Chains A and B, each alone.
Chain A
Amino acid sequence: MTTYIGTATLRVDGRDKVTGAARYAGEYDAPDLAHGSVVTSTIAKGRIRRIDTNEAMKVDGVLVILTHENRPPMADSDKAYEDDVAPEGSPYRPLYDGEIKFNGQPVALVLAEDFETATYAASLVKVDYDEQPHVTDLERQLGNAVALDPPAKPRGDAAKAFATSDIKHQADYSVPIEHHNPMELFASTAVWHDGKLTVYDKTQGVQNVQRYLCGVFETKPDEIRVMSPFMGGGFGSGLRPQYQVVLAVLGARALKRSVRLVLTRQQMYMIGYRPAMIQRIQLGAKPDGTLNAITHDATTMTSQYEDFHRNETTWSGLLYKSEAASYAHSLVRLDLPTACDMRAPSAATGVYALEAAMDELAVALKMDPLELRLKCYSDSDQSTGLPFSSKNLRECYSQGAEAFGWNKRSFEPRSMRDGNDLIGWGMATGIWEALQVPITVRITLTGNGHAEVACATSDIGTGTYTIMAQVAADMLGLPIDNITVKLGDSTLPPSPVEGGSWIAASVSNGIVTTSNAIRDELLKMAQAMPNSALKGALADDVMLTNGSIMSKKNPRSTVMVADAMRHAGIERVTQEKATKFKKGGKHAHNTHSAIFAEVKVDEQLGVIRVTRLVGAVAAGRILNLKTAHSQVMGGMIWGMGMALHEETLVDHRFGRIMNANIAEYHVPVNADVHNIEVIFVDEQDDIVNPMGIKGLGEIGIVGVPAAIANAVYHATGKRVRDLPITLDKLTRDA
């Protein structure tokens, strides 16, 4: 039954994407379309005293300039602004009042007949403020951190176990603010049809945005439809509705016509980000590498109005065998926008700290870093004690090490050299959760062998269209070209936001559920036929294949689907089924990886090149080798960026981000990317879900920053614990 599942099937939307036929939120046209441009605040905290729009209004073609003073009505309760994934607090309300909560906050929306006019007029809007003192510096505000509940119960007496350990390591690891920088700009096109709106939005959750807009504008559900058939990268930045969608709808309601609003790259730095954080790790061990104690204390940051946080410390608690463990997490509130999820939120950062610390412990133990991981290997989640439904990390270590040639590593730092270059080899473990969410899938199968699969999920560029078509083709026994996938439309059957690596598992199993309902219905029709070849067959004993219903026991017992439908007097069958996943089972569900990195560092100049990266991943069933490879490789490259390049720079005097563009916010470019090898380790999991799928969205990045940081140490003998590892940090004592 698996013609497509597990193969390197080409993207079904690939042609549309490379030819431009795939349209994105800012590319939809509408009759009489007006264009918006946002004016943003230049102070971090205070109140708007006066907005002078006179000059701007004089520009030919300007339609209206909306501010908190003249905007159409919006809801006035926090509840109305809470989207499905809002953290605790009082959500930001765009153009609601004159209060400034962060630098770069929208203060006016200029609407004009064309984009150029709107942009020019926006530059003429003058805003006066009553400024108040602001705080944006995490390090200086540590004294004002508030404690959060620790993520898991501590075990044993970690402080005592650490204090009495023969070998101890303690250090602080810090990560700066980072931004997602998806290629596609945040954009919304609100198309006006006599009071009702179709909103094309860049989002990872159309139904989340739809519910949110209905709350903010106090409208009936059928008055707003949200569409996002394609997305040029999300990485978590599109999980929550962003302010441009509110402003586009506000503009459409003010003008009673269609409005398009595209944020600038600079404005995209004033929405969500990965929070900066400082993490203290303590590891205590016996001389043989047995861990006695792990403690992990994290301090992260958020806005003044919402307490966004993720559990950085979870991973230290569950990954390695250690009798005692304790965690603490505190949060600093700053005058910046609320932080948000960014690829592998909490794991990219938390596992970086843990795995850099494990490397330092290995050095203290004079032990090979891989051997230390094997010594502490755990077959159960150490926090809960639950066994993993599958965990083939051992094989990741083994296949990754083999591909990399790890056994040729010399232990001492600065012991491998190539001319001016010091060579370093480092490794780290990666881990993420195999999550699943309730989801509903509708399938319509026609007598002529075509099927439409529909679900309000998103394809944020990862290949969801393709895997949905693959699974449906195999389940319905049809060629993939006969499958049409519909997603990214709030009127389709329900799906939560696309994030957390949960959609592949959820929607694939959802397709299985609904396909089985289609099969059951077809079997009944087939059995109603005179002299049916499937008389008496049970549903689980038949499958759909080659346009027929076939007995698995006796493949010659078949009934053509077309014949069954014709006999029943119908042309199509439609089934819509919800799939739920059990929570609180007897197993822990996680994906794992082993990352191996080679760096070459110019000894005098500190220039770092990552010459080899090997990632061996155990993530259950891999649905599509091609899209899976791309996704993991992309994550690994991002991990390189996190290790060496990425850093959002805030000038705390202004509370303002100064490198808000992709020339000065550095991500890896082609020249930085050398050999990257992705290995998928076999991992059968019959427990996690019927399809054995565990998800791949996050795992690619996890572990990579630590593997590279550890390789840099091995090359140079210098430990840089504040990312990114730039050459000035590496040569700062030189």
Chain B
Amino acid sequence: MNNFQYSRATDVADALSQIAADASAKFIAGGTNLIDLMKYDVEQPSRLIDISHLPLAKVEETTAGGLRIGALVPNSDLAWHPLVTERYPLLSSAILAGASAQLRNMASTGGNLLQRTRCFYFYDVATPCNKRDPRSGCSAKDGINRINAILGTSDACIATHPSDMCVALAALDAKVHVAGPNGERAIAMVDFHRLPGDTPQRDTNLDPKEIITAIELPAQGFNTHYTYLKIRDRLSYAFALVSVAAALKMDNGTIRDARLALGGVAHKPWRNPEAEAALNGQPPTHDAFARAADIVLHEAKGFGHNTFKIGLARRVITRALTQAANGTPQSQSDKKIA
């Protein structure tokens, strides 16, 4: 870990002016990922700007009937917030599927979006990694890639985004509110994270001089037919091999609005509009679910150790859609899969 300066931001404007003044500074809130990365010398910020005291820790109802979640709301508070558990249980469930209680207590909503990949090579500065050190090469493609991506990969990078929460946010069509030197803007959650392409060092479309201020959820919360099904190598405290957020709006036995987002398979939460469209207007049958899965995985590509994820994802998608259609969401405390 390098030596660094520490300063505390007094308000959003102060945070923005501080980050503008130092290109190698970083914001710190919960620090649950950044501190680890600093210990591994993966991140070496010249300055940590502590934003944890900014007034961004509220959950408020919007006039559009949705929710506005401050960027500093701790993951635990968000997961157990009554408006979230009642109206957006998919989000609550996805958060509770991730990390441990202690980490969720520390981690912030905005920070959760900015988690970096858990690819083994990204974490080990002794090995080449294009995400950490552009143009040094990707060690994962021909290396130990059991946890790596099967969708949207590039020659430069096959890393995955590790968040559970983001998968639910993507399914729910959330928006990310950010502030920057040129004012405020909103980025659709599905556009927030990037595919690696030839710039895997950039995880998101957030400008380095911008700060996340809030997440906005639309009114439609899918609180009846939903599930977050996460498959991993032990029953808790492990990143997803494959996870699926499924949400359905049902009308007399017909799917009217289907949402399907995958975690653990790509550089971003993975949604496929075609697959969702194929479900709309259909009865919730195994065949319909399998067709949707086929569309999602049509272009999936394995790299050896992780090739099993393609078949696994197909089965997890159909199971998750079954859980959602039946109104039997996966419990995150009872590890039996419904």
Contact = CB atoms under 8 A, between A and B. Distances in A.
Contacts of A664: 118, 120, 147
B335 A671 contact: yes
Nearest to A734: B311
B144 interface: yes
B317 to A, nearest CB: 11
Contacts of A609: 235, 335-336
A120 B237 CA distance: 30
A605 B39 CA distance: 36
Interface in B128-169: 139, 142-144, 146-147
Interface string B314-338: 0110010000000000000001110
A383 B258 CA distance: 66
Given A120-B2, A123-B41, A656-B127, A669 B234 contact: yes
A651 B234 contact: no
B337 A666 contact: no
Interface in A675-734: 726-728, 731-732, 734
B124 interface: yes
Nearest to A650: B144
Contacts of A164: none
B337 A669 contact: no
A731 B146 CA distance: 15
Contacts of B238: 663, 666
B231 A670 contact: no
Contacts of B118: 663-664
Nearest to B311: A734
A651 B147 CA distance: 14
Interface residues on A, range: 35 or more
Interface in B104-126: 118, 120-121, 123-124, 126
B120 A659 contact: yes
Interface string A631-675: 000000000000011000101011010110101101011111000
B233 interface: yes
Contact of B144 (A119, A421, A658, A670): A658
A670 B333 CA distance: 11
A568 interface: no
Contacts of A732: 308
Contacts of A734: 311, 315
A604 interface: yes
B1 interface: yes
Contacts of B124: 656, 658
Which of B39, B41, B120, B238 has its CB near the most chain A CB atoms (within 10 A)? Answer: B120
Given A658-B121, A658-B144, A732-B308, A645 B1 contact: no
B120 A649 contact: yes
A663 B312 CA distance: 22
A54 B290 CA distance: 61
Nearest to A654: B127
A123 B139 CA distance: 22
Contacts of B312: 605-606, 727-728, 731
Contact of A651 (B123, B144, B308): B144
Contact of A120 (B3, B236, B316): B3
B329 to A, nearest CB: 15
The A interface, classified by DSSP as helix, strand, loop or mixed, is loop
B315 A651 contact: no
Given A120-B3, A654-B126, A666-B238, A605 B231 contact: yes
Contacts of B126: 42, 103, 654, 656
Contact of A607 (B2, B40, B120, B231): B231
A732 B310 CA distance: 11
A116 B35 CA distance: 13
Nearest to B235: A671
Interface in B284-332: 308, 311-312, 315-316, 319
Interface in A394-428: 420-421
A605 B235 CA distance: 13
Nearest to B143: A651
Nearest to B127: A654
Interface string A348-391: 00000000000000000000000000000000000000000000
Nearest to A604: B315
A668 B2 contact: no
A602 interface: yes
B156 to A, nearest CB: 18
B158 to A, nearest CB: 14
Interface in B29-81: 39-41
A396 to B, nearest CB: 29
Given A605-B315, A672-B235, A119 B336 contact: no
Contact of B308 (A103, A669, A728): A728
A658 B120 CA distance: 6
Contacts of B146: 728
A240 interface: no
A322 B315 CA distance: 46
A647 to B, nearest CB: 9
Contacts of B147: 664
Given A604-B315, A653-B143, A644 B234 contact: yes
A604 B231 contact: no
A600 interface: yes
A458 B319 CA distance: 52
Given A649-B144, A656-B127, A671 B236 contact: yes
A102 to B, nearest CB: 13
Which of B41, B139, B233, B335 has its CB near the most chain A CB atoms (within 10 A)? Answer: B233
Given A120-B3, A728-B312, A666 B233 contact: yes
A264 B308 CA distance: 33
A420 B142 CA distance: 35
A548 B124 CA distance: 65
A514 B338 CA distance: 61
A602 B312 CA distance: 12
A605 B319 contact: yes
Which of B40, B124, B127, B235 has its CB near the most chain A CB atoms (within 10 A)? Answer: B235
Contacts of B336: 421, 600, 609
Interface string A586-607: 0000000000000010101111
Interface of B: 1-3, 39-41, 118, 120-121, 123-124, 126-127, 139, 142-144, 146-147, 231, 233-238, 241, 308, 311-312, 315-316, 319, 335-337
8 nearest CB pairs, A to B: A671-B236, A42-B126, A728-B308, A671-B235, A658-B120, A604-B315, A669-B237, A672-B235
5 contacts: A42-B126, A123-B1, A123-B2, A653-B142, A663-B238
Given A669-B234, A731-B308, 16 more contacts: A123-B1, A123-B2, A605-B337, A606-B312, A644-B234, A651-B144, A656-B124, A658-B143, A658-B144, A663-B118, A663-B238, A664-B118, A666-B233, A669-B237, A672-B234, A727-B231
